[in-house]
Amino acid sequence: MANKETEVEVQATPSGLVDSLESFNAKLEQVREAQKIFATYTQEQVDKIFKAAAIAANQARIPLAKMAVEETGMGIAEDKIIKNHYASEYIYNKYKSVKTCGVLEYDSAFGLKKIAEPLGVIGAVIPTTNPTSTAIFKSLVCLKTRNAIIISPHPRAKNSTIAAAKIVLDAAVAAGAPENIIAWIDVPSLELTNELMRNADTILATGGPGMVKAAYSSGKPALGVGAGNTPVIIDSTADIKLAVNSIIHSKTFDNGMICASEQSVTVLSDVYDAVKKEFADRGCYFLKDDEIEKVRKTIIINGALNAKIVGQKAHTIAALAGVDVPEDTKILIGEVESVDISEEFAHEKLSPVLAMYKAETFDEAIEKAAQLVADGGYGHTSSLYVHPAQAEKIEKHYNAMKTCRILINTPSSHGGIGDLYNFALAPSLTLGCGSWGGNSVSENVGIKHLINIKSVAERRENMLWFRAPEKVYFKKGSMPVALDELGTVMHKKKAFIVTDSFLYKNGYVKPIEDKLDELGIQHTCFYNVQPDPTLASAKEGAEQMRQFEPDVIIALGGGSAMDAGKIMWVLYEHPEADFMDMAMRFMDIRKRIYTFPTMGEKAYFVAIPTSSGTGSEVTPFAVITDEKTSIKYPLADYELLPNMAIIDADNMMNQPKGLTSASGIDALTHALEAYASIMATEYTDGLALQAMKSIFEYLPSAYENGANDPIAREKMATASTMAGMAFANAFLGVCHSMAHKLGAFHHIPHGVANALLITEVMRFNAEPVPPKMGTFSQYQYPHTLERYCECARFLGINGKDDWDTLDKFIEKIEELKEKVGIKKTIADYGVKEEDFLATLDDMVEKAFDDQCTGANPRYPLFSEIKAMFLKAYYGK
149 forms part of the interface with another protein (CB under 8 A):
no
Q: Residue from 93, 778, 780, 798 that binds another protein (CB under 8 A)?
A: 778
User: Which one of the spans 78-86, 656-664, 683-691, 739-747 is the region binding another protein (CB under 8 A)?
Assistant: 683-691
- Cβ closest to another protein, residue 793 vs residue 832: 793
Question: Are 420 and 414 a contacting pair, CB within 8 Å?
Answer: yes
The SS3 assignment for 556 reads: strand
Cα 536 from Cα 133, distance rounded (Å): 75
Closest alpha carbon to 84 in 132, 144, 142: 132
Closest alpha carbon to 142 in 179, 171, 100: 100
464 forms part of the interface with another protein (CB under 8 A):
yes
461 forms part of the interface with another protein (CB under 8 A):
yes
690 forms part of the interface with another protein (CB under 8 A):
yes
- Cβ closest to another protein, residue 304 vs residue 489: 489
User: Which one of the spans 115-123, 291-299, 464-472, 602-610 is the region binding another protein (CB under 8 A)?
Assistant: 464-472
- Cβ closest to another protein, residue 401 vs residue 792: 792
CB of 491 to another protein, least distance (A): 11
Closest alpha carbon to 260 in 373, 154, 362: 373
Question: Are 664 and 758 a contacting pair, CB within 8 Å?
Answer: no
Residue 780 CB coordination number (10 Å): 11
Instruction: Report the Cα 122 to chain-centroid distance in Å.
Output: 30
Task: Please list the residues that pair with 334 across neighbouring strands.
Answer: 355
Residue 697, CA distances (Å) to 648, 691, 694, 712, 805 in order: 20, 10, 5, 8, 19
The SS3 assignment for 153 reads: coil
Q: Residue from 467, 491, 510, 824 that binds another protein (CB under 8 A)?
A: 467
- Cβ closest to another protein, residue 279 vs residue 473: 473
477 forms part of the interface with another protein (CB under 8 A):
yes
Residue 516 CB coordination number (10 Å): 22
Question: Are 489 and 470 a contacting pair, CB within 8 Å?
Answer: no
Residue 798 CB coordination number (10 Å): 12
- Cβ closest to another protein, residue 1 vs residue 593: 593
Q: Residue from 152, 694, 737, 759 that binds another protein (CB under 8 A)?
A: 694
463 forms part of the interface with another protein (CB under 8 A):
yes
CB of 488 to another protein, least distance (A): 8
Q: Residue from 436, 466, 548, 586 that binds another protein (CB under 8 A)?
A: 466
3 forms part of the interface with another protein (CB under 8 A):
no
Task: Please list the residues that pair with 636 across neighbouring strands.
Answer: 621
Amino acid at 730: A
CB of 599 to another protein, least distance (A): 13
465 forms part of the interface with another protein (CB under 8 A):
yes
Closest alpha carbon to 317 in 297, 341, 340: 297
- Cβ closest to another protein, residue 58 vs residue 681: 681
The SS3 assignment for 184 reads: strand
Cα 352 from Cα 137, distance rounded (Å): 25
Is 791 labeled as catalytic in the residue annotation? no
CB of 471 to another protein, least distance (A): 6
**What is the x/- site pattern for another protein, positions 724-753, by CB under 8 A?**
-x----------------------------
Q: Residue from 190, 307, 481, 838 that binds another protein (CB under 8 A)?
A: 481
718 forms part of the interface with another protein (CB under 8 A):
yes
CB of 236 to another protein, least distance (A): 38
**What is the x/- site pattern for another protein, positions 23-42, by CB under 8 A?**
--------------------
Binding residues for another protein, rule CB under 8 A, total 41
Residue 669 CB coordination number (10 Å): 27
473 forms part of the interface with another protein (CB under 8 A):
yes
CB of 681 to another protein, least distance (A): 8
- Cβ closest to another protein, residue 472 vs residue 659: 472
Q: Residue from 436, 683, 776, 859 that binds another protein (CB under 8 A)?
A: 683
Closest alpha carbon to 624 in 748, 541, 550, 722: 541
Amino acid at 105: E
CB of 772 to another protein, least distance (A): 24
Closest alpha carbon to 311 in 66, 62, 67, 76: 76
- Cβ closest to another protein, residue 112 vs residue 870: 112
Name the helix (H) or strand (E) containing 332: strand 332-335
**By CB under 8 A, what part of segment 100-119 binds another protein?**
108-111
795 forms part of the interface with another protein (CB under 8 A):
no
> For the chain, how big is the Rg over CA atoms in Å?
40
Closest alpha carbon to 691 in 753, 757, 613: 613
DSSP assignment of 714-726: HHHHHHHHHHHHH
827 forms part of the interface with another protein (CB under 8 A):
no
Cα 203 from Cα 342, distance rounded (Å): 33
780 forms part of the interface with another protein (CB under 8 A):
no
CB of 591 to another protein, least distance (A): 11
- Cβ closest to another protein, residue 47 vs residue 685: 685
Closest alpha carbon to 707 in 650, 762, 754: 650
- Cβ closest to another protein, residue 528 vs residue 690: 690
Q: Sheet with 403-408: list strands edge to edge.
A: 285-286, 332-335, 353-359, 262-268, 230-234, 379-385, 403-408
Around 145, how many Cα atoms within 13 Å sit in the side-chain half-sphere?
Answer: 27
Burial string for 85-112 (b: 16+ CB within 10 Å, else e) reads bbbbbbbbebbeeeebbeeeeeeeeeee
Q: Residue from 310, 503, 687, 843 that binds another protein (CB under 8 A)?
A: 687
CB of 476 to another protein, least distance (A): 9
Q: Is 648 exposed, middle or buried (0-12, 13-18, 19+ CB in 10 A)?
A: buried
CB of 105 to another protein, least distance (A): 12
CB of 593 to another protein, least distance (A): 15
- Cβ closest to another protein, residue 475 vs residue 494: 475
Residue 532 CB coordination number (10 Å): 19
Q: Residue from 40, 42, 269, 462 that binds another protein (CB under 8 A)?
A: 462
685 forms part of the interface with another protein (CB under 8 A):
yes
Amino acid at 824: K
Name the helix (H) or strand (E) containing 395: helix 391-400
101, 142, 259, 791: the active-site residue: 259
- Cβ closest to another protein, residue 289 vs residue 682: 682
User: Which one of the spans 173-181, 264-272, 307-315, 468-476 is the region binding another protein (CB under 8 A)?
Assistant: 468-476
**By CB under 8 A, what part of segment 488-507 binds another protein?**
489
681 forms part of the interface with another protein (CB under 8 A):
yes
Cα 813 from Cα 695, distance rounded (Å): 10
CB of 426 to another protein, least distance (A): 23
Give the single-character DSSP code of 606: E
593 forms part of the interface with another protein (CB under 8 A):
no
- Cβ closest to another protein, residue 110 vs residue 803: 110
867 forms part of the interface with another protein (CB under 8 A):
no
Enumerate residues 6+ apart whose C-beta is below 8 A from 207. Answer: 125, 127, 224, 225
Give the single-character DSSP code of 534: B
Q: Residue from 227, 268, 331, 722 that binds another protein (CB under 8 A)?
A: 722
474 forms part of the interface with another protein (CB under 8 A):
yes
Binding site for another protein (CB under 8 A): 108-111, 460-468, 470-475, 477-478, 481-482, 489, 590, 681-683, 685-690, 694, 718-719, 721-722, 725, 778
Report the catalytic residues: 259
